[in-house]
Structure 1
Amino acid sequence: MFAQQEVIRPSADLRNHYNEISRQCHEDNEAVIITVNGRGDTVTLAYEEYKRMKARIELLEILAEADEDVKYGRVAPMKDTFDDLRSLLKEGQS
């Protein structure tokens, strides 16, 4: 993973300098933190970066669930799992 660059801008810049903020997000790969009254309010990212971050989070959640399953013994031998899948596929073909 990599560290996302961040830039802080006031909310007025979003209205007055949108193109510049968009360029920062896309070309410079920066997250732009928009402030209201000096406090963080929203974050603007390039859409592709948002999709990558969302995919990473979803994968980490799946890995955390799998780790918990192993920790609490909620596992089955791979052979049993594949046998179950084959049975389901056969039922679906009937």
Structure 2
Amino acid sequence: MIIKPSAVIRKNYNEISEICKESGEPVYLTKNGEGDLVVMDIEAFTKRESMLRLRENLIVAEEGRMNGKPGYSIDDVSSLMKAAVQEVLDGKRK
């Protein structure tokens, strides 16, 4: 965990930016010794957000499965994917 006083971002934005990009981790900024802000590289943030959305979707799917919601077998998914690909190919031929 990287912790810096908030004055660092005012005085040396480039240093904070470089730390974020090199580490891929958030930098926690303090103000008067208390946590104030979190700064992170946009790529690391985007990746983290994607992972969180994926986890949320997996949890929803698992909850549905546990509650008896019908699912799809591997063969079902394979058939659905083949049909979707064929539909796209047929559409391009027209």
| TM-score where L is the length of structure 1 | 0.73
The one-letter code of the counterpart of 2:5 is P
Name the structure 2 match of 1:42.
37
The CA deviation at 1:36 is: 1.4
Larger proportion of helix: 2
**Structure 2: gaps of 5 or more residues:** 88-94
Q: 1:22 is paired with a residue of what secondary structure?
A: helix
CA distance in 2, matches of 1:19, 1:77: 50
CA distance in 2, matches of 1:30, 1:55: 15
CA RMSD of aligned residues (A): 2.2
Larger proportion of strand: 1
**Structure 1: gaps of 5 or more residues:** 1-5, 90-94
The count of aligned residue pairs is 80
Specify which of 59, 62, 70 is matched with residue 65 of structure 2.
70
The runs of at least 4 consecutive aligned structure 1 residues that moved more than 3 Å come to 76-79
The one-letter code of the counterpart of 1:48 is E
Name the structure 1 match of 2:17.
22
CA distance in 2, matches of 1:77, 1:22: 45
